Amino acid sequence: MPAKRRYEEILCRHFAWKIFLRGKVYWADGRCGSISVGRHSLKVRTKEEAKVALRKLDERIAVERGLVERERVTEDVNRQLPLEQGFDIYRGYMDRPEVSRGIRISTKKRYRPVFAHFREFCRPRRIHNWNQVNRSVVLDYGSFLEAQGYAPRTVYLELTTIKQILKYLIDEGHLLPTQSFRLRLSKPTSSDVHCYSIEEVRAILEHVAANPELAWLHRILMGLAFTGLRIQELASLKWSDISLDCSTIHLKDEGHRSKTLGHRRRTKSGRSRMLPVLPELKALLRALVRDPEAFVFQSMKGRRLNDNNLRTVFVKDVIRPLSRRFPSPEGERGFKDGRLHSFRHFFCSQMANANTPITALQQWLGHRNSAMVMHYYHLNNADAKRLMSSIRLLPRPSRKGSGGG
């Protein structure tokens, strides 16, 4: 019994088609749409060549049937969209209003290196137009990023972004529908971020507490370790967000406030949330001077925290001095790779090990689904040993009383 023929459905500018391989040559079947235009050999042997030939076939038949003029077809088929022009078009799309699900400034910043990396990849390969970008090009781009040493999550983000740009350009008519292709990507679920152990966090806090000049940094690291907040969220906290008894933090998303009001706090999920304050952090907050209009956690000069400056100081004054005390395994990520975001992983892992319900932890961390909680969860050897020592698989043998009768 012959194998079932595999089709790929493609919607071109004028007609719907199915392309399939017959022998070693690709064919196009135009009998699947509302208008039947017959079956035709494309006379090519690769799928990418078949899609190009199909586009020309679609336009030729449209001319033969009087649907479009020949001059217009020639112009559309030969139209090229330069890479930079495509990027500009997509930037305009990113600038759409928030009410139409426009993206945030922080998200736009993540696209800049993607554009730069893709330009770097395309330049030596003489890829100047989006019309040249196909499935093979995107796969080669992924191999290029891996060879450059980028993490799997970064490779996934960049390939997904290029796919999104292509889809938008096709949907808006800047590219022909025949340029679309299917490419399934597996999103990495594991994380390569170092998660601090209890001993490492204790050493970090003791190190900064022992230096009076780092008292401001001690408060910040306490806030990160005992709340699991992202650094941008912690930096935006004002005393008006802290309950009077310092037992609750109300993290409000201000996405719908007027832009004229200056700094607007945006949570990553776009939702407001509340989280309880652990006793250690509560004691610290109660010892601070409360100013309803001031930021709770400030820089050394009493100003709003700058993410980049804070990371630089943290690595220089904390991670490097303590790296000898906590050596990293050869060729593996360890304490030397720890950063401010590692405190979020620490908080999540310790809360999970303390049997915190996953729904509560999901709400405190601000995730839309519980699967992301596992992304932050780590079980190091020390915690694993502590957990294992508290488990009894079999009941302890009872002592039998002496004597008998």
Q: Are residues 292 and 360 in the same domain?
A: yes
The CATH number assigned to the domain holding 377 equals 1.10.443.10
Q: Is residue 393 part of a domain?
A: no
Q: Is residue 132 part of a domain?
A: yes
Q: Are residues 202 and 343 in the same domain?
A: yes
Q: Is residue 379 part of a domain?
A: yes
Q: Is residue 190 part of a domain?
A: no
pLDDT above 50: residue 25: yes
pLDDT at position 405, please? Answer: 45
pLDDT at position 373, please? Answer: 66
Q: Are residues 56 and 127 in the same domain?
A: no
> What gap in Å lies between CA 54 and CA 44, rounded to an integer?
10
Q: Are residues 36 and 87 in the same domain?
A: no
Q: Are residues 223 and 301 in the same domain?
A: yes
Q: Is residue 289 part of a domain?
A: yes
Residue 68 burial by Cβ neighbours in a 10 Å radius (0-12, 13-18, 19+): middle
pLDDT tier at 104, thresholds 50, 70, 90: low
Average pLDDT for residues 41-61, to the nearest whole number? 86
**Which residue, among 296, 301, 168, has the nearest Cα to 236 in the 3D structure?**
296
Q: Are residues 70 and 173 in the same domain?
A: no
pLDDT tier at 260, thresholds 50, 70, 90: very low
pLDDT at position 15, please? Answer: 86
Neighbours of 364 (CB within 10 A): 22
For 258, the token pair is 């007027």
Number of compact structural domains in the chain: 3
Q: Are residues 26 and 71 in the same domain?
A: yes
pLDDT at position 72, please? Answer: 53
Q: Which of 193-197, 253-257, 289-293, 351-355 is least confident?
A: 253-257
- For the chain, give the percent of residues with pLDDT over 70: 81
pLDDT above 60: residue 137: yes
Average pLDDT for residues 129-146, to the nearest whole number? 94
Q: Are residues 71 and 100 in the same domain?
A: no
Expressed as residue numbers, the domain containing 131 is 83-179
pLDDT above 90: residue 208: yes
Q: Of 53-67, 70-84, 102-116, 221-235, give the range with the top mean pLDDT.
A: 221-235
Q: Are residues 99 and 230 in the same domain?
A: no
pLDDT at position 401, please? Answer: 54
Q: Is residue 56 part of a domain?
A: yes
Of 31, 55, 78, which residue constitutes the final position of a domain?
78
- For the chain, give the percent of residues with pLDDT over 90: 43
The CATH number assigned to the domain holding 124 equals 1.10.150
Q: Which of 163-167, 225-229, 325-329, 351-355 is least confident?
A: 351-355
pLDDT above 50: residue 128: yes
How high is the mean pLDDT of the chain? 84
Residue 201 burial by Cβ neighbours in a 10 Å radius (0-12, 13-18, 19+): buried
Q: Is residue 395 part of a domain?
A: no
> What gap in Å lies between CA 222 and CA 280, rounded to an integer?
8
pLDDT tier at 391, thresholds 50, 70, 90: low
pLDDT tier at 261, thresholds 50, 70, 90: very low
Q: Are residues 152 and 293 in the same domain?
A: no
Q: How far is CA 393 from CA 324, 355, 388, 390, 396, in A?
A: 39, 18, 10, 10, 9
Q: Is residue 17 part of a domain?
A: yes
Average pLDDT for residues 326-335, to the nearest whole number? 86
Q: Are residues 105 and 42 in the same domain?
A: no
Contact by Cβ (8 Å): 206, 200:
no
Average pLDDT for residues 94-117, to the nearest whole number? 77
Q: Are residues 358 and 232 in the same domain?
A: yes
